[in-house]
A and B are shown apart, each in its own frame.
With several copies, the nearest count.
Chain A
Amino acid sequence: MEASISAAASVSVLAMAVIFAVLVILIFTIQALVKLMPYKAPPPAPPRLQTAASENSDQDDHVAAITATLAMHMGKSPSEFRIVNISQR
């Protein structure tokens, strides 16, 4: 029993060491990746909610997405119906 507990203890110490070693390597790798491939802010979106026109064009995307979704469900062509009145928050 004594012997096996001491074996368990040495396995435990070793295992924790391996885990920390592996994860520390991973940390350095991630830091290298983040440095190599930094986040680039996307080009500023055209101003929204300013003019009715821009809002509409934006809404069109959403309407298109919903239309496509519903079209899929209805088994009909997206050109067959039109959704209006989904306004941007």
Chain B
Amino acid sequence: MEFSFGASATKIITTTGFSSLEGGDAIMLVVACILLYLAIWKKFEPLLLLPIGFGCLLANIPMSMMASTDTGGLLNFFYQGVKHEILPPLVFMGVGALTDFGPLLANPATLLLGAAAQIGVYVTLIGAVYLGFNMHEASAIGIIGGADGPTSIFIASKLAPHLLAPIAVAAYSYMSLVPLIQPPIMKFLTTEKERKIKMEQLQPISQTVKIVFPVVVTIVCCLMLPGVTPLLGMLMLGNLFRESGVTARLHETAETHLINIVTILLALAVGSSMTADSFLRIETLKIIVLGLLAFSIATAGGVIFGKIMCKMTGGRVNPLIGSAGVSAVPMAARVSQKVGSDADSSNFLLMHAMGPNVAGVIGSAVAAGVFISLFGDTVAPETHAAIADVIGTVEPGAKAAISQVVEALKH
């Protein structure tokens, strides 16, 4: 190799990112800056969208080797944790450690609202198929309506990894937009009188029930839908750390530094998958439209089922808590509170809305489980290929050895 001044200068110039910056890269750098702007100044789920945006920025600097597809690169390494479905369950353990299922236990019927809101998932699924996506892709897009980041990432990386980036970005963006998306739908579907309904105070729940609950949910739901065990099981383990009262150390770690570390890795990995190739496609636009549809229908589904429960209980349920069934904890519950107190300033719905709100998390995990039961095994070959990818770097060695053998045998 030559190190003359001229040769070196040429080398440096030809290896700058500018030398191979294409239009797509430049657009993606702008997209990254928009995400950062939304995260920082508009407070759109900043804990996720800031590192996602920064990961996108790094991935789209040409020759930086930071895209999720750059084998041997730093973010490719983190991306393995998404690809092999390790990071989303760990985030869910932290979510479980942060979640109080008390309001749900005090009013278990609100689980139905968490179920009803899943209608958003399936209307979107049909819409996605109508727009030309295949069933696996449509499922991964539909789950945006579950309003649950880790669940969306888990299902996308399992069923449609090539759509991971737009699905994750849409899911987190719309979760932040819940205070804008939901109120008009809620007001349109309810009467002033319904919105003014005051609900009875929740009954207290014994600590024993709170401890037994995560174990029972795990056994019941995971036996019926085993595919969702990594997600739902870890959620419930985190909650057991919280409620058992004997694992304070583990609880504290799970809900603080462990979830923070995993969030950083997960968000950077998702961001690193936002390359021009995968993101600047007509599919991304479709996903953004479908995601909005998903959130809207989910909200409507929850509110309408809330009206049904209102009727059936003789007016003891305020339909506004139904919209909280989309999950997006605790934002959606706060929206219920807000719309309720707008109708009657003495109406406190927050705790009542927390029931459907956490029910929505379980509901979309169950919806994810149904998808895995239906489509999970049919991607087994793809998953295999994915694993081979990771450690596929050895293959050249093996192949070289084999070709040596072949050469040797030829003589």
- Residues on A lying within 8 angstroms of B by beta carbon are 1, 4-5, 7-16, 18-20, 22-27, 29-31, 33-34, 37-41, 75
Contact = CB atoms under 8 A, between A and B. Distances in A.
B33 to A, nearest CB: 14
Interface in B128-164: 129-130, 134-135, 138
A26 B129 contact: no
Contacts of A18: 12, 224-225, 366, 370
A10 to B, nearest CB: 4
B135 A14 contact: no
The 10 closest A-B pairs by CB, nearest first: A12-B122, A7-B3, A10-B5, A30-B108, A8-B129, A37-B208, A39-B206, A39-B204, A15-B370, A23-B111
B111 A27 contact: yes
Contacts of A41: 204
B206 A23 contact: no
Nearest to A18: B370
A23 B125 contact: no
A25 B112 CA distance: 11
Interface string B197-241: 000000111101100110011001100110000000000000000
Interface string B8-24: 11001000000000000
B367 A37 contact: no
B209 A37 contact: yes
Contacts of B111: 23-24, 26-27, 30
Interface stretch (B72-80, B113-121, B306-314, B383-391): B113-121
Nearest to A15: B370
Given A16-B118, A20-B112, A8 B138 contact: yes
Given A7-B3, A18-B224, A40-B206, 17 more contacts: A5-B126, A5-B129, A7-B2, A7-B4, A8-B3, A11-B8, A12-B126, A14-B12, A22-B220, A22-B366, A23-B363, A23-B366, A24-B111, A26-B216, A30-B216, A33-B105, A75-B248
B374 interface: yes
Contact of B216 (A9, A29, A38, A75): A29
Contact of A11 (B114, B208, B220, B374): B374
A27 B112 contact: yes
Nearest to A29: B216
B214 to A, nearest CB: 12
A24 B366 CA distance: 12
A23 B114 contact: yes
A26 B358 CA distance: 14
B114 A10 contact: no
A22 B135 CA distance: 23
A22 B108 contact: no
A10 B8 contact: yes
Contacts of A9: 126
Interface in B50-92: none
Given A14-B8, A26-B220, A37-B212, A8 B125 contact: yes
Nearest to B2: A7
Nearest to A35: B209
B5 A13 contact: yes
